[in-house]
Structure 1
C-alpha cells in the first residue's frame, strides 16, 4: 500500500535521524500516521554503547525536571525503566551542590529532581519503548541524501544505504514489501514518499541546504556563539566514598572565569565529569589538558572529589559549535517540521537540549492529534508550536552567552544589561534565601517561565538583598 492509498492526512511520516529527538518524534506520531519511517545512518548497538553518530553522547547529559514530566506523560513508566537500567535520582537541592556566579545555592526541601545516567542508557531505554509500536519502522545504516518535492511542498526523502550488510530495516519486520531495495548496495538512491517529513538530524542537519536545492528561500536564523568546548571522562566511584552530595555543578563566572565543571553519578557505580570553557578558555586536549582545566576551576571541590577516583575511560573532547535557532515557522515549504537540535541548538552548558527536544515531540503530538493526521495543516501548526516552546530556553541561553566578551552574535543593548543586573540579584538572593533558590531552580529546570521570578514573594526576597 503506497502513501497515496492511505487515509487522507494519515499516510506516511518520515523522520530524518534516529537519535533521541527522532525516536521520540516518531513515537509522538503514533496513531496519527499509517506508517512512520525513521531513517538512521548508524546501526543501533544491542546494548547501551556510545555511537559515532552521537558525538555529544560521551559528555554529561541532563533531562531536566520538565523533560522527565513530558517523557513520563508520553511514555508512562519510563522513569522506572530508566531507574531499572541504572539511572540515579538527584534532587536539585541537597543531592546537587551548585556554585553559581554569585556563590553556593542555598539548600531547601527540593520537590524537583533529575535521573542521571549516560546518554547511551537514556537512548536505549527510550528506543526500546519506541520499538514496541508496530507502525514505526527503522531504516538503519541509511543516509538521507535529499528531499523530494518543490519550493512549495516537501513530499518525501531520497535515501541511500550506507552498506549492504544485514537488513537496514532490522526490527521492523512489518515492512510487507514496501519500498523494495531496503538493503540495496551503497550508492543506489531511492525515494520514500511522505505526507510529513520531520528533520531530527541534529546540529549538523543538511535540510537547509536541500531546501535551497528545491528553490526555497533561506530559513531565517538567529546565531550566537560563545565558542564553548568540552572535555569529559568517566571515573569509577571510589568504594565507600561519601562526598555529602551526589553531584556538583561549578558554573562559569563571566567574564573573568569562563570555565565550568560538572560531576554526575551514572550507572555502573561511576561518575561522568565534563569540563568546559568558553572561547579563550577551552580545555586543552588529552589527559594533561583535562587535569590542567580541572585545576583552573573556581572551586577545588570537583578536583578533590576525583583525588582517589580511577579513570574508567579516555578523555574525550567535543566542539558543539554555535547556537542556532531556525525559524521554520516564518518560512518553510508545506509538509516539513524540524525538531530538537535541527530546529534550535543551544550552548550545552545550560543542559536544555534534551528537554527542549522532548518539548518539541510533545508539541508535535498535541498538534497531530488536534488535526487528526500528518497533513499540511499539522505541519504548519506544529512549526508555530515548536517555535513557541523553544523560545524561553533560547532567550535564557543567549542572554547568558553574551556575558562573555568573546561571544559572537546574540542580544545586546540596554535591555540585556538590565536583565543581567536583575539576574545577578536573583542569583545573589539564591545563595541565602531558599524561596529564591526554589524559584530559580524551577526556571532553570524549565518547569516555570522566567516570569515567576516576579512573583511578589520572590521579588520582595530578591530586592531585600
Structure 2
C-alpha cells in the first residue's frame, strides 16, 4: 500500500459552493483533509426542491454513462439509491429515440444508458451521502466574499452569513440582514461556485487574471414538467430532437422523471430562442424539426409552469497555465459548456475523481495536490470542450470558438458519421460511446468505423 494512503488527514479544505460539483469535491477529499468546509449561499431544503442557487435545475438533466461510472466509483451504491428515489434507467438505444442532424439514429443492442430524474432528486441523494461524513461541515446561507492570501498563494476565504429567508425555500434572494465578515484559513480552496463564480474577478484584482476561451451560441431554454398520461406506451421512454446547423437551430428533449412525470426542455440558438411563457413554449414546440415530441405531449397535463433559462457563454478557464498555490476550480467554475450536450455534470464528477487521485498521491491537500489537480482537470475536461465548442461554431450567430480548415474537415467527417449512424448500428454504437464520454473522439477513427462510414 502506498504510504500516502495511510497518512493522517491534516489541514483544512474549503469548498466554495454546495451544489453537486461542490459536494462531490468535498466527498472526494475525505480522509485527506482533517476538516472540509462547504460554503453554500442557499439553505438546503429538507426534501428535494428547486433552489434559486441552481437556476439551471428546473431544466432537463442527465448524467452520461461515464458520469454514472465515476459517481458509482466515488459513492458505491449511489445508482441504486437514485433508482430508489425514482430515477429512470434510459438505454441510449431502444429507450431513446434520437433525431440527429442526419436523421433518426439506428437501434442496436445498447451497452450504454443514463439515469433520468429531476436535478433536485439527484442533488438530494448525493447530499445525503455526503452528510454522513463527519469531517465535512456545511455553512449554509453564507456567501464567500473574497479570498485570503496573495497572487502567489490562496490561504483561505472570507465569508459572511446571508441571514434567514423571509420567503419559502425557493426564494433565496429575500434575506433579513447580513452577518459580519469572518475568515476561514485553509490549505486548499476549491472553487465550485458554478457559472457565476467571482473567483476569476478576485484573481484579476490581485493581478493574476485567469486565461480563458469563450464560445457563445446564444442558447436559451424553456422547460416544463408534465404528468405522464395513464396507460400510455410509446415503445420508448425518451426523445431527443437535435438541432441541424445552420438552418434548424431548435431542439427539444423529453425525459422520464420521478413521480410518473416527464420533463420537457426546448432550446434555440441565437435568433431562434423560445419566447416566454406557455404561448412561447407551444409555438417553439410546433417549430421543431419533427412532430414526435409534440405528439408525445398530446393529452399530457402540465405539472408546473414554463421556466426559462439563459445559460450564457461557454467558458474554459485555464487555471493549469498559472494560478496561485492552494486554489483549484471544478465543474462549471472551471469549464462551462452549452447545456444541450449534457456534459456538465459528468465533467464535474471527473473533477472529483481528479481531486481524490491527486490528494491520495500527495497524502494531503497541500500545494502539490493543487498543482497536479489543475493540470489533470484541464485534461479531463478537454474532450468535452472540444466537442461542444466545435459544434457551437456551426451556427452563424455564434461568437468565439474554434475555426479554420481543421474544424471544417472535422465537421465534414462527423456529418458522414451521423449519416452512417442512421442505418449502421456499428457506427451508432461508436458515436454514442464518444458522446457518452466513455471513449475518446478517436473511437470514430477506428478502422472498422472508418470503413463503415466510407461504405455508407
1:397 and 2:388 are equivalent in the alignment:
yes
Task: Please give the TM-score of this superposition, normalised by the length of structure 2.
Answer: 0.95
Shift of 1:8: 9.4
Work out the CA distance in 1 between the residues paired with 2:373 and 2:179: 34
Measured against aligned partners, the alpha-carbon deviations of 1:267-292 in whole angstroms (never above 9, x if no partner) come to 00000000000000000000000000
Structure 1 match to 2:182: 190
Structure 1 match to 2:146: 146
Q: Tell whether the 8 Å contact from 2:268 to 2:274 is kept in structure 1 after alignment.
A: yes
Work out the CA distance in 1 between the residues paired with 2:204 and 2:198: 10
1:313 and 2:313 are equivalent in the alignment:
no
Measured against aligned partners, the alpha-carbon deviations of 1:332-369 in whole angstroms (never above 9, x if no partner) come to 00000000000000000000000000001111111110
1:212 and 2:204 are equivalent in the alignment:
yes
| Residue of structure 1 aligned with 2:376, choices 385, 391, 405 | 385
Structure 2 SS opposite 1:276: strand
1:270 and 2:258 are equivalent in the alignment:
no
Taking the TM superposition and a 5 Å limit, the aligned residue runs for 1:265-414 are: 265-414=256-405
Aligned residues: 441
Measured against aligned partners, the alpha-carbon deviations of 1:73-123 in whole angstroms (never above 9, x if no partner) come to 000000000000000100000000000000000000001100100000000
Structure 2 match to 1:435: 426
Measured against aligned partners, the alpha-carbon deviations of 1:279-307 in whole angstroms (never above 9, x if no partner) come to 00000000000000000000000001001
1:33 and 2:24 are equivalent in the alignment:
no
Work out the CA distance in 2 between the residues paired with 1:135 and 1:187: 25
Work out the CA distance in 1 between the residues paired with 2:25 and 2:48: 21
Structure 1 match to 2:193: 201
Shift of 1:217: 2.2
Q: Tell whether the 8 Å contact from 1:9 to 1:375 is kept in structure 2 after alignment.
A: no
Taking the TM superposition and a 5 Å limit, the aligned residue runs for 1:228-247 are: 228-247=219-238
Task: Please give the TM-score of this superposition, normalised by the length of structure 1.
Answer: 0.94
Structure 1 SS opposite 2:295: helix
Work out the CA distance in 2 between the residues paired with 1:424 and 1:211: 41
Shift of 1:212: 2.3
Structure 2 SS opposite 1:36: strand
Structure 1 match to 2:3: none
Structure 1 match to 2:137: 137
Structure 2 match to 1:71: 71
Work out the CA distance in 2 between the residues paired with 1:10 and 1:451: 41
Q: Tell whether the 8 Å contact from 1:10 to 1:375 is kept in structure 2 after alignment.
A: no
Flag the 1:275–1:164 CA change in 2: closer, same or farther, 3 A. closer
Q: Tell whether the 8 Å contact from 1:153 to 1:333 is kept in structure 2 after alignment.
A: yes
Structure 2 SS opposite 1:103: coil
Structure 1 residue ranges (4+ consecutive) displaced by more than 2 angstroms after TM superposition: 7-10
Unaligned runs of 5+ in 1: 1-6, 167-183
Work out the CA distance in 1 between the residues paired with 2:419 and 2:177: 61
Structure 1 SS opposite 2:72: helix
